Amino acid sequence: MKSRLLLAPESFGRAAVFLQQARPLEQALFAFFFGRGPAEPVRAALQYFQNNDGGFHSLEADIGFAASSVLSTCRALHILRELATPATNPLVQQALEYLLAAYDEAHAVWPIIPAHDNSQPHAPW
């Protein structure tokens, strides 16, 4: 039998108060998953992170690049899947177009983050 980790009501309340300081995306995700809020505010908040090339940026806490990355785009697609977003949604379509364009055929890989010059915040790894 699997055990579930549950927060005490007072701990959950403190977490909810703390998330009032979070980005609109995390606030919308919290409302969706824990407050049974609608999916559309999450999609709207997620749209802020989509660049003109269809890729997403800054969805991983340790990568603050403004440029699109495969890593952030995959995270966005994961969120969109959890929201039961249809494949025909423009957020999904543009993200898939970005991934197709980002694929490195010569090495048969997707570079998970773009090349950078250390001018933007990121984790050392």
In this predicted structure, what is the pLDDT of residue 48? 96
What is the structure's pLDDT at 123?
Answer: 61
**Secondary structure (DSSP) of 70-118:** HHHHHHHHHHHHHTT--TTSHHHHHHHHHHHHH-BTTTTB--SS----S
DSSP state of 21: G
> Contact, 65 vs 122, CB < 8 A?
yes
pLDDT of residue 1: 47
Predicted local distance difference test score (pLDDT) of residue 83: 97
Q: What's the burial of 79, exposed, middle or buried (CB within 10 Å: 0-12/13-18/19+)? A: buried
- pTM for the model stands at 0.84
Angle at 48 between CA 114 and CA 124, to 5 degrees: 35
- What whole-number distance in Å separates Cα of residue 15 and Cα of residue 83? 22
Give pLDDT, residue 53.
97
The pLDDT value recorded for residue 50 is 98
Q: Over its length of 125 residues, how does the chain's per-residue pLDDT go in tens digits?
A: 455 568 898 998 998 999 999 999 999 999 999 988 999 999 999 999 999 999 999 998 777 778 899 999 999 999 999 999 999 999 999 999 999 999 999 999 888 777 665 566 656 65
